[in-house]
Structure 1
Amino acid sequence: ASKAAAPKAAVIPVLPSGLVDLLMLDQMLAAYPNALVCLMVANNETGVRHDIAAAAWACAAHGAILHVDAAQSAGRCREDWLKLGASSVALSGHKAGGPPGAGALVFSSAHGEHVAPLLKGGGQERGWRGGTPALAAIAGMAAALDQPYEAVKIAEYRDELEAFCVGIGGQVMGADAARMPNTLCVALPGVRADTQLIALDMAGVAVSAGSACSSGKVAASHVLLAMGMGDLAGQAIRVSLPWNVTQADCTAFKQAYEMMARRALHRNPVPLTQAQFAN
């Protein structure tokens, strides 16, 4: 999507931890000052959380504008990204548990008045986007963002699943970085992601190979390839815990994952079709 929107845009590399390479960002900004920098608060595949304050400092030093994508993080971590130095922040209602169809673009006081309208027309939304707002979806988004989020409890569940997967032979992606409490990206060396997806799906467990937007796709993760994970990029699944996850859910996942891993590794492994797995 970024290549289609900005084909000449430069991509900031990441470290093996999944964190953005801040040294390279500083060097790139020195070569291209006054740039627009777009950075996710947290990666939607690995859950790795970037240092927004440090990125904002680098941008300010070179006169650059920092836009932050907080779709994966809004409602799950209580940070004021504008106070940390971002010029604008994008939010998504359904990612926080609200209905689909509403999002928000929040500007800092220094930049909002200088933005050209997306859709010219009436005076809705301060003249930035003409048309009647989707009031029901907007109200739902506001209600979802206002709900408490039990980050500590959900992180404990995530850590429980992580330790279990590692004990069977899994390798956690981004384990050395701060991560979102609900996201676990784990590779099972030697076992293709599609093999894992089929087996877990047959056991009633929904995971994805890559981000939730990639559910059903089995290509190697471009995120993990950028992290230098090599073959593991095609052997990793993403587990995302909902706000209402329970201990019973975690137990069901562990049972399904153990059965999948032991069977796949015993077969050394070969991609399983649904018919094969049913035998």
Structure 2
Amino acid sequence: MDYLEKHEIPVYFQDIVTNLLIKKPEKPLQILNSYFESVANGTNVLLREYEYIISTKRNKAYFIHYFHESFKNTKKLLSLDMIYQYCKLITASFSYDIIKKSFLIVNHQNKNEEPSNILFEDFIKAFKIYFFYYDFFKSCKKTIDKVTDLFISSKKNNLQDSITTKNYENKIDYIEAFFIKEITSIYENEDYIIIYPKDFLLSINSIIHKTVIPLMRIEVYSILESENISNYIENEFISNCINDEFLVSYVNKYLY
């Protein structure tokens, strides 16, 4: 990765040059100067299209920052639709699915059986991590489905002989090792090794450990429960990511 790509500069050059060619202003240098001033202070993400916001890590970090700053004094409990309407005041085209998933993760953390209204401060903590690392979480979904199948098999004693005993710790170790191996493969094979530093994977491995420990308390009555269990594991995994100091600090480093 060269210097310009490392700092995601080509995205901004392409954006401003495209705008200059479309609008053809009389004083293009003033527009150029104004644009990069907005990039420097992060206001370039305000009222921009969703595709632009997700085009760089810096854009995502500043969108999170201004979303938080705009509504941090909201103390009442908010519904999913209310939070989405707040978000649309900053960008009309933002992904509803990301807002919804962040909302549901908070409900998972609060152990609500049914989705309930939540505080904005709780929402923004979940949103900060889920939105910033969204591509990574999306890549992890198939792995989580595999982990779910492995977990259900372990509960039904269908694993290989070495782990089909009632030694739950042994089963958990096996599931954890499988989970880590699959996530490491994603990290190494899908350019995340370029996007994120090695400490990212170290944090994820620690998070996986925290995620699998509670699994053996879950009872499995039917293979039809696999979707619910997969959602539980995914939400637990993301919830643990939300509380990880490295993942949070890595987002914050783009606010400069």
Question: Shorter-chain TM-score: what band?
Answer: under 0.3
* Bigger share in strand: 1
TM-score by length of 1: 0.23
TM-score (normalizing by structure 2): 0.25
Q: Would you tell me which structure has more helix in proportion to its own residues? A: 2
